[in-house]
């Protein structure tokens, strides 16, 4: 192999290692900050409608949670 090809391989390997070390950490941090955008989905039974975008929901462990839909514009039912 020529000196030039060894130099290119060396530079490419340094570049790939730098991307691996710094790039992965950066995206992991962003993923942790945006964790709210990837919620755990759970099934529930609607117990009571409060208004157009709010309702009480009963989870499988018998706990009742109030749910408000954000970004949904519905007029009040009551």
The stretches of the chain forming alpha helices (DSSP H) are 3-18, 24-33
pLDDT above 90 covers a percentage of the chain that reads 12
Residue 59 confidence (pLDDT) above 90: no
Confidence at residue 7, expressed as pLDDT on a 0 to 100 scale: 80
Copy the structure tokens of residue 36. Answer: 């709210």
Rounded CA gap, 36 and 59, in Å? 20
pLDDT above 70 covers a percentage of the chain that reads 71
Torsion-angle region of 5 (φ positive above 0: left; ψ -120 to 50: alpha; else: beta): alpha
Confidence at residue 56, expressed as pLDDT on a 0 to 100 scale: 92
pTM for this model (two decimals): 0.44
Mean pLDDT of 24-33: 67
List Cα–Cα distances, 17 to 9, 23, 30, 43, 55, in angstroms: 12, 10, 20, 43, 51
């Amino acid at each position: 192999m020529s000196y030039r090809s060894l130099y290119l391989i060396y530079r490419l390997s340094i570049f790939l290692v730098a991307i691996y070390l710094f790039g992965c950490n950066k995206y992991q941090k962003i993923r942790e900050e945006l964790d709210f955008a990837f919620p755990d989905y759970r099934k529930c039974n609607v117990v009571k409608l409060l208004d157009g975008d709010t309702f009480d929901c009963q989870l499988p462990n018998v706990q009742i949670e109030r749910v408000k839909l954000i970004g949904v514009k519905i007029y009040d039912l009551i």
